[in-house]
Amino acid sequence: MSPTEAIPLLIVVLLMISIGGSDVQEMSVTFQGETDVDALADVHVVAGGTTTVPGDATVDGDVYVIGGTAVIDGAVDGDVTLLNGNLSVHDGASVTGTLQTYSGSAAVSADASVGRVSQFEPPTPSSSPAQRVGGFLLQFFVLGAFGWWLVKRHPIVIENVGAAITEHALVSGVIGSLGATTLLVLFVYMAFTLILLPLAIVGLFAEFLIVLYGQAVFGYLIGTRLPIERDSVATIAGIATFLLLLEVLRLVPYLGGIAQLAVAVVGFGAVLNTYFGLQRFDPITIPGGT
């Protein structure tokens, strides 16, 4: 598993560490090859390759397996969490804390000593129409309120972002995909320092808000094409239409997901290109020679 592919699960690990509130000073991450666990780190993340806790070693700290293979022959004085990949706990090995399995393959020897074994059972997604409608209404109220506020208080801002989407969709899509990926990688690697973990979480949340910003602008653009005179009302109606279109796209395998991703990155790029709508986006042109 490459660092880029591991990013979503690394974010989950960082959030779990943050929520746990443990005093972590150093974290090690392995992506490939055959290695032994770094005994100096407080948290050990296995993202690829094969990582082993040797039989004569005692590792202080927690182990997270998000890819590759982790083999425990010695002792782990902490918890072991399997999010993906493979985990083997051999004869004579010991885990003083909890061995928690979310996904992946775990093989635990009957002769191994484990404080507690826990298997996560994912909740069965509910197909209740009431819950689906409730989720839709929550999205609508959040985006609708934000869109209404922008149109009433800062119409130029939302117009600038909308113009970047309609007039420069390709450029916005390229900038959005590069910007979102770069920022995501940056925040994850910031979180590796652990000291900057709170700042990294704030940054990831800010990225999510930018995506919502772009969605509100898409709703505004749809609203401008509806036969409604008041801009604020048209924007709310456009956002409702936009969210309905997203729900329809979810029903289309593969193509629906690609379309949703395209909408997200174009909106993200348009927000960045216009400095959050503070100025009109005009691509740089190279004058032709005479």
- Give the residue extent of every domain in the chain: 3-119, 129-273
Structure tokens at 121: 């059972």
Q: Does the pLDDT of residue 244 top 90, yes or no? A: yes
User: What mean pLDDT is predicted for residues 143-171?
Assistant: 94
Q: Does the pLDDT of residue 189 top 80, yes or no? A: no
| Predicted pLDDT at 39 | 66
Confidence class for position 130, pLDDT limits 50, 70, 90: confident
H or E stretch at 109: none
Confidence class for position 287, pLDDT limits 50, 70, 90: low
pLDDT in tens, 198-240: 787 888 889 989 999 999 999 999 999 999 999 999 999 999 9
Q: Does the pLDDT of residue 290 top 60, yes or no? A: no
Query: Higher confidence at residue 99 or residue 42?
Result: 99
pLDDT in tens, 160-186: 999 999 999 999 999 999 998 888 778
Pairing of strands 69-72, 50-53: parallel
| Predicted pLDDT at 72 | 94
- The residue among 33, 82, 36 whose CA lies nearest residue 59 is 36
Taking each helix axis from N to C end, the angle separating 155-167 and 197-223, rounded to the nearest 10 degrees, works out to 80
User: What mean pLDDT is predicted for residues 131-141?
Assistant: 87
* Residues 219 and 238 sit within 8 Å (Cβ to Cβ): yes
The overall average pLDDT reported for the chain is: 86
